[in-house]
């Protein structure tokens, strides 16, 4: 399609799209850009694509408008178990290793970033059920995000046509879906309930963050997403994804997105004929996950058992070799005042260097063992590494040292929530609100937990209180303890939740 719109206007608009959404529309894709703008015009109540471009160029319509435009500029083309080699690597190597390493605490955290219409996260849920006979005993976070809210609505509905099952083993459709009268297939509640869908803009939104639940991930899939971004945006996204992973966490991208320059914080590992990226651990790396001596599971297409495969998990997994870090990014001094220790440890934490931050904060604790700020930062670092038991211990010490600190009680609630202890988390949030009724995030998280517990009226009360508190801030103000979330963005998130409940 040859663009009919003025080329100078298209050039300026493509720059705006890049800046606000990270989407790349070079000159050769201006036809696609014009098609998307023309499609979006009527949804904005405008008649011509030029009016859409003029609106975006002369003002900042906001996140909602960006998401609507993105829904017309991105293509929802995916299917279940897309890219067989990646899922073979997950089935035979990555997930069995993660399961074995977490068998005692029974907790896994996985993020499908750019989940489109939901086929990828549901495929992960199906695979996890086949690998975990005791799946009900586990606390599994399977977060699925996308900028396109239309895609998310379809994903949440969980209804698919035949085209979503191309190149997918027949048993997946037969066991995990029910066929409706219209011929479409609806995913079973046992699978659907494992996935949490949420809007997230990989360019603009802050992550890792406790607010968006994007912290301490064991595995992130971000496939067929980076290819749409300009190089500088892609690098920034990969850096934030790296910080969202625990040490030795895994990142999977599509084959066309693999690049040595784009993934400096990762080591490439060849598994099942495809390249996977493992975040460089804080100890000497190994050349391949196959040194873990993992016994393979039967391939998906050969699965003929009942509803879910209950193949046994390998009885033991050899640990990665221990040792002193040979990849310490920065030298840290051995001494300093408590304030200097705290500041430097916080700086390392903010940069994603959890090992360095923990080493620095521990070097200062003997000098100030009851310093609540040091203890609270230790808790944050340990939570970032996925050590929730250690984080809980340090957070309780911080609370004991400063009993009226609402922030510590809020963060303790976050830790409890991530462990699946929502009743205890609610109690902690109530104490946080008693100590400081003006902390927005305490009300927001309490509303979220009450909503999960089937108490929508109580949840809305706290959501509305959060909105009242947020009104006191500038839209671009970064909220305390939010890991970068602005007041304006949290307002949009809450408004979206309330709108969905009233639809």
CATH number at residue 460: 1.25.40.10
The residue from 47, 73, 99 where one domain ends is 73
pLDDT by residue for the chain (503 residues), tens only, comes to: 445 778 888 899 998 888 777 777 888 888 888 888 998 898 888 988 999 999 998 887 777 788 788 878 877 678 999 999 999 999 999 999 999 999 988 999 999 999 999 999 999 999 999 999 999 999 899 999 998 878 888 999 999 999 999 988 889 999 999 999 899 999 999 999 999 998 888 887 888 888 888 988 999 999 988 887 888 889 999 999 998 998 889 999 988 888 878 898 899 999 988 999 999 754 333 333 333 333 333 333 334 343 444 333 333 333 333 333 333 434 444 557 888 888 898 888 877 788 888 888 888 766 667 889 989 999 999 988 888 899 999 999 999 999 999 999 999 999 999 888 999 999 999 999 999 999 999 999 999 899 888 898 999 999 999 999 999 999 889 887 787 888 988 888 888 777 666 55
Q: What is the pLDDT of residue 233?
A: 86
Nearest to 174 by CA among 155, 77, 165: 165
In a domain, 332, yes or no: no
Q: What is the pLDDT of residue 432?
A: 96
In a domain, 324, yes or no: no
| 486 DSSP β-pair partners | 478
Domain match, 90 and 195 both:
yes
Domain match, 298 and 369 both:
no
Q: How many CB atoms lie within 10 A of CB 20?
A: 20
The residue from 302, 324, 353 where one domain ends is 302
What domain range includes position 372? 338-502
Q: What is the pLDDT of residue 80?
A: 94
Domain match, 51 and 121 both:
no
Domain match, 247 and 178 both:
yes
Q: What is the pLDDT of residue 442?
A: 95
In a domain, 246, yes or no: yes
In a domain, 330, yes or no: no
Looking at 102-244, list the stretches that DSSP marks H as alpha helix, in order from N- to C-terminal side: 119-131, 149-157, 170-176, 189-192, 231-244
Q: What's 170's domain CATH number?
A: 3.40.50.150
Domain match, 140 and 201 both:
yes
Domain match, 285 and 181 both:
yes
Q: How many domains does the chain have?
A: 3
Domain match, 161 and 285 both:
yes
Nearest to 237 by CA among 304, 364, 147: 147
Domain match, 68 and 134 both:
no
In whole angstroms, what is the distance from residue 226 CA to residue 425 CA?
36
The C-alpha angle 127, 131, 133, rounded to 5 degrees, equals 120
Residue 279: φ, ψ to 5°: -60, 130
In a domain, 311, yes or no: no
Domain match, 44 and 153 both:
no
Domain match, 201 and 345 both:
no
Q: What is the pLDDT of residue 294?
A: 33
Tokens of 332: 């840290």
Domain match, 89 and 69 both:
no
| 268 DSSP β-pair partners | 277
In a domain, 328, yes or no: no
Measured CA to CA in angstroms, residue 169 lies from 125, 131, 172, 174, 465 at distances of: 15, 16, 6, 9, 48
In a domain, 238, yes or no: yes
Predicted structure pTM score: 0.75
The residue from 17, 43, 73 where one domain ends is 73
In a domain, 314, yes or no: no
In whole angstroms, what is the distance from residue 349 CA to residue 379 CA?
11
Looking at 59-196, list the stretches that DSSP marks H as alpha helix, in order from N- to C-terminal side: 63-73, 84-89, 95-101, 119-131, 149-157, 170-176, 189-192
In whole angstroms, what is the distance from residue 246 CA to residue 216 CA?
5
Domain match, 90 and 49 both:
no
């Amino acid at each position: 399609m040859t663009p009919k719109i003025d080329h100078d206007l298209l050039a300026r608009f493509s720059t705006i799209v890049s800046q606000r959404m990270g989407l790349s529309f070079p000159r050769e894709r201006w036809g696609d850009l014009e098609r998307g703008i023309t499609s979006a015009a009527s949804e904005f109540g405008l008649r011509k694509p030029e009016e859409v471009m003029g609106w975006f160029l002369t003002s900042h319509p906001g996140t909602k408008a960006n998401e609507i435009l993105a829904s017309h500029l991105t293509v929802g083309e995916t299917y279940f178990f897309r890219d067989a080699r990646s899922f073979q690597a997950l089935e035979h190597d990555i997930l069995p290793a993660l399961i074995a390493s977490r068998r005692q605490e029974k907790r896994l955290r996985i993020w499908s970033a750019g989940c489109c219409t939901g086929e990828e996260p549901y495929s992960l849920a199906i695979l996890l059920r086949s690998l975990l006979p005791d799946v009900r005993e586990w606390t599994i976070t399977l977060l699925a995000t996308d900028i396109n809210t239309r895609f998310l609505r379809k994903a949440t509905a969980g209804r698919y046509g035949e085209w979503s099952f191309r190149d997918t083993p027949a048993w997946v459709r037969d066991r995990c879906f029910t066929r409706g009268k219209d011929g479409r297939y609806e995913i079973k509640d046992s699978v659907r309930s494992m996935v949490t869908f949420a809007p997230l803009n990989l360019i603009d939104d802050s992550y890792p963050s406790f607010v968006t639940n994007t912290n301490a991930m064991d595995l992130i899939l971000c496939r067929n997403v980076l290819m749409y971004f300009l190089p500088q945006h892609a690098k920034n996204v990969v850096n934030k994804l790296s910080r969202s992973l625990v040490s030795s966490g895994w990142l999977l991208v599509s084959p066309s997105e693999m690049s040595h320059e784009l993934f400096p914080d990762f080591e490439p590992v060849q598994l099942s004929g495809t390249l996977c990226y493992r975040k460089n651990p804080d100890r000497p790396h190994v050349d391949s996950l196959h040194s873990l001596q993992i016994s393979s599971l039967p391939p998906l297409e050969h699965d003929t058992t009942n509803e879910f495969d209950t193949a046994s998990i390998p009885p033991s997994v050899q640990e990665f070799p221990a040792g002193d870090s040979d990849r310490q990014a920065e030298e840290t001094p051995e001494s300093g005042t408590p304030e200097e220790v705290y500041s430097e440890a916080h700086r390392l934490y903010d940069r994603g260097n959890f090992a360095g931050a923990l080493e620095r904060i521990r070097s200062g604790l003997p000098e100030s063992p009851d310093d609540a700020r040091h203890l609270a930062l230790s808790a944050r670092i340990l939570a970032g590494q996925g050590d929730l038991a250690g984080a809980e211990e340090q957070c309780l010490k911080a609370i004991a040292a400063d009993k009226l600190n609402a922030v510590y009680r809020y963060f303790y609630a976050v830790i409890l929530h991530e462990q699946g202890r929502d009743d205890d988390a609610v109690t902690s949030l109530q104490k946080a609100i008693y100590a400081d009724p003006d902390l927005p995030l305490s009300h927001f998280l309490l509303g979220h937990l009450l909503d999960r517990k089937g108490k929508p009226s109580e949840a809305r009360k706290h959501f509305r209180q959060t909105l009242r508190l947020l009104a006191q801030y500038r839209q671009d103000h970064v909220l305390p303890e939010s890991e970068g979330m602005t007041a304006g963005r949290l307002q949009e998130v809450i408004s979206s939740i309330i709108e969905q409940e009233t639809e």
